[in-house]
Structure 1
């Protein structure tokens, strides 16, 4: 049995996975704020799988954690997880002694990429494009993550595609994230509401001019990210996930239309059939938690090999 946790800014999703790869238990907890509270949330989530989901926690052999922020290669140290109030935290050191099993830690988007790959059949190559407050991708080929030389492979959110576009928090203009990130859209919309991106889509359908611009920018940004991922990594497909994808068919119709329109003038782009190579991760999918479980299991296997 292996456990995986997707530690998000508001909720932590935890799953238990059996030897056959089936999810046999799942719980969701509110994520605490700050270093100590995040650690406590991780421990509580593993315990809740036993008390609330009926999982035999004594059978758990590894725990994997997907979490926002940068993960120092080869370690369990998380830095700059600003949405969690964490500047620096060694999650392995903080949790492994209590859990008593190997613990693996990975960036949440990269964990989700592995999980989405497994849910999608686990063969070929795939890019997982996370559309949330920000935008980033994870690239997987035959079950292995491609991290790049410095771990930044997939950071497509900060590729500028419009030098005259809106200012991005990274300092450039017209980045994919500035066009299509949920945080940027909410800021440019500037009107209160629990789901600003949905409000933008609704208002656009009623003729609001600003909303129409923002909705168009979102499609333009996502389509640009899809093109970048296919043209640079030539993945078989790009799977979209993250909070913005709750828009479902409305989002996909816009993105596919943008991809089709951009291919009209280019036989080469038409030959890539990009609109057929993009799809949506089902809402509520446990991809990130499942991917984290796989990362934890790999850490456990490494430990077993190291100890003979």
Structure 2
């Protein structure tokens, strides 16, 4: 790989997306393949994507490849565990070394939300931001003063497991009433079953058409997202707050609804109003592969 090119892989439960960036961060090639579960399946899926990127660019792509993956990631060891949807649980999987051996290039491994946070920072040009990923779960990434904050145990930004309702549903983490049980894609799917249509899309369309039940569910969800933003912002006071993840495919309607919830929460608090959390809020463009871009920057 020339010094100007970098490769990022975003390994998800259903697909592996890879891309090649030029020196200016422009996307030269993009490939996606279904992800097969288990160690062999993950490595094989990544190899197919990487080989397709080589074919698409006509380059050897011999530099370091950045990889984002769900689960608990030990960056120093290059290992992952608790990536349950990928068939990786229990013992640490030395994925970095397995990928490096299969791809024939150096590899750096990172949690997918952290990788996406770096991509959001690159897109916005901000060096101080919170990236809130609203997908199956709810988690955040933090870039503070230009540095990614992982935390002592890799748990920085696990906002989804902050309990807010003692009478709420039991969360998969074992606590009750966590934000993730209110403000996540899985929470929306449970509250608004929608068949073949993505739950978030179906819910927001129904609410926009005036369905009162949909309005109640949507507002509870957006209040939950706003509460997550409020907690994160009061903890680290970021310059920018970026919404991402699968639910963020809604785009501006999601940003507008969450901004309105933030304004309502601040209406009775001059202190919160002075922080202008709604004014700091943006959403990742639906066609921008933020996690793969961030992974590519890791490789640099």
Q: TM-score when scaled to structure 1?
A: 0.90
Deviation at 1:174, TM superposition (A): 2.8
Deviation at 1:209, TM superposition (A): 4.5
Partner Cα separation in structure 1 for residue 169 and residue 207 of structure 2: 19
Partner residue of 1:265 out of 243, 263, 268:
268
Structure 1's unaligned 5+ residue stretches are 298-308
For residues 59 and 205 of structure 1, do their structure 2 counterparts lie closer, same or farther at Cα, with a shift above 3 Å needed? closer
Partner residue of 2:33 out of 25, 29, 33:
29
Partner Cα separation in structure 1 for residue 166 and residue 210 of structure 2: 27
Give 1:96-245 correspondences, 5 Å limit.
96-121=100-125, 123-245=126-248
Q: Residue 33 of structure 2 contacts residue 49 of structure 2 at CA under 8 Å; is this kept in 1? A: yes
**2:88 maps to which residue?**
86
Q: Residue 171 of structure 2 contacts residue 177 of structure 2 at CA under 8 Å; is this kept in 1? A: yes
Partner Cα separation in structure 1 for residue 129 and residue 161 of structure 2: 20
For residues 160 and 134 of structure 1, do their structure 2 counterparts lie closer, same or farther at Cα, with a shift above 3 Å needed? same
Q: TM-score when scaled to structure 2?
A: 0.92
Deviation at 1:90, TM superposition (A): 1.4
Deviation at 1:89, TM superposition (A): 2.4
1:245-268 per-position Cα deviation (integer Å, ceiling 9, x unaligned):
122222122111110111111111
Deviation at 1:55, TM superposition (A): 4.2
Q: Residue 161 of structure 1 contacts residue 224 of structure 1 at CA under 8 Å; is this kept in 2? A: no
Secondary structure in 1 matching 2:186: helix
Q: Residue 226 of structure 1 contacts residue 278 of structure 1 at CA under 8 Å; is this kept in 2? A: no
Partner Cα separation in structure 1 for residue 282 and residue 76 of structure 2: 32
Partner residue of 1:289 out of 271, 292, 296:
292
Q: CA RMSD in A?
A: 1.7
Secondary structure in 2 matching 1:180: coil
Secondary structure in 2 matching 1:86: coil
**1:75 maps to which residue?**
77
Partner residue of 2:51 out of 47, 50, 55:
47
For residues 287 and 55 of structure 1, do their structure 2 counterparts lie closer, same or farther at Cα, with a shift above 3 Å needed? farther
